[in-house]
């Protein structure tokens, strides 16, 4: 089920999953919570579990928690403070910040990963738009750029897009996202560590993909 085959249901599932998580990491809101609890959200989780068997236990746990929520508003009431405490601001220090630079070197915001992402965005003529105040190595920005590469490659607009996405996931994102996920053991909502684990599974799936133009280069 390689991602480079056009118009595949599996490709759509991966893209839908990545898109949902990009929205999640911008911060949960009412619209997102309604989607998570909707039949469409349950269908996406079912498709992801079928496509990624290793992620199935994580997805089942997520579905159980989402179905157990009294309402989308109750879900937001749980997720919003948990998100802030885990990722944005906490009295004891933010345990798992959303910025790549916090996981390399001295762990300072706007480190080398931010410069690398800013260059990637500039070369692709992409803008942060209304999120221009955020460092370019915010997790949601990296996810949106990954989605852009996949969509460009799958649509044939950028022949090496899928291979570039695989490289981005494997070498640039997974090392720090795995650490990001590992830091979420003491958070107020169990949905946060589960979502981070799902993200790791999705990135690992993307990382295995390489377009035919990269097959010789990627194989040992």
Residue 3 placed within a domain: no
* Residue 37: partners with Cβ closer than 8 Å, 6 or more residues away: 66, 67, 69, 71, 72, 75
Q: Could you tell me if 18 and 25 are in contact, meaning their C-beta atoms sit under 8 angstroms apart?
A: no
The CATH number for 93's domain is 1.10.3480.10
Q: How confident is the model at residue 46 (pLDDT cuts 50, 70, 90)?
A: very high
Give the residue, 142 or 220, on which the prediction is more confident.
Answer: 142
Whether residue 195 is contained in a domain is answered as: yes
Closest listed residue to residue 17, CA positions, set 208, 176, 195, 155: 195
Q: Answer yes or no: are the C-beta atoms of 4 and 209 closer than 8 Å.
A: yes
In the prediction, which pLDDT does 4 show?
44
DSSP class of residue 169 equals I
Count of domains for the chain:
1
pLDDT for 65 beyond 80: yes
What is the pLDDT, as a whole number, of residue 212?
Answer: 44
Per the domain annotation, does 183 fall within a domain?
Answer: yes
Domain hosting residue 71, numbered range: 9-214
Query: Is 220 contained in some domain?
Result: no
Residue 2 maps to a domain:
no
Q: Report yes or no on 50 lying in a domain.
A: yes
| Distance (Å, whole) CA 215 – CA 5 | 15
DSSP conformation letters of 47-115: HHHHH-GGGHHHHHHHHHHHHHSS-HHHHHHHHHHHHIIIII--TT--SS-SBGGGGSTT--TT-HHHH
Residue 153 has pLDDT above 60, yes or no: yes
Angstrom distance (rounded) from CA 47 to CA 50 = 5
Q: Is the pTM of this model over 0.95?
A: no
Cα dist from 215 to 46, 160, 162, 171, whole Å: 31, 11, 11, 16
Q: Residue 196 in contact with residue 204, Cβ under 8 Å? A: no
Q: Is 219 part of a structural domain of the chain?
A: no
Answer yes or no: is 205 within a domain: yes
The tens digit of pLDDT for each residue in 201-212 reads 999 999 998 644
């Amino acid at each position: 089920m390689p991602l480079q085959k056009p118009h595949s249901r599996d490709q759509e599932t991966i893209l839908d999953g990545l898109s949902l998580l990009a929205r999640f990491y911008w911060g949960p809101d009412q619209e997102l919570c309604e989607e998570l609890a909707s039949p469409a959200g349950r269908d996406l989780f079912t498709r992801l579990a079928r496509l990624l068997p290793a992620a199935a236990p994580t997805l089942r746990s997520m579905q159980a928690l989402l179905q157990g929520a009294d309402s989308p508003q109750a879900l937001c009431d749980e997720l919003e403070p948990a998100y802030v405490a885990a990722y944005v601001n906490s009295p004891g220090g933010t345990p798992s910040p959303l910025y790549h630079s916090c996981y390399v070197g001295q762990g300072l915001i706007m480190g080398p990963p931010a410069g690398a992402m800013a260059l990637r965005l500039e070369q692709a003529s992409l803008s942060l738009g209304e999120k221009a105040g955020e460092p370019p190595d915010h997790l949601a920005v990296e996810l949106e750029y990954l989605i852009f590469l996949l969509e460009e490659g799958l649509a044939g607009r950028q022949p090496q897009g899928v291979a570039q996405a695989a490289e981005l996931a494997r070498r640039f994102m997974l090392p720090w996202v795995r650490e990001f996920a590992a830091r979420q053991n003491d958070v107020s909502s169990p949905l946060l560590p589960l979502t981070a684990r799902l993200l790791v599974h999705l990135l690992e799936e993307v990382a295995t993909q390489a377009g035919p133009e990269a097959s010789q280069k990627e194989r040992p």
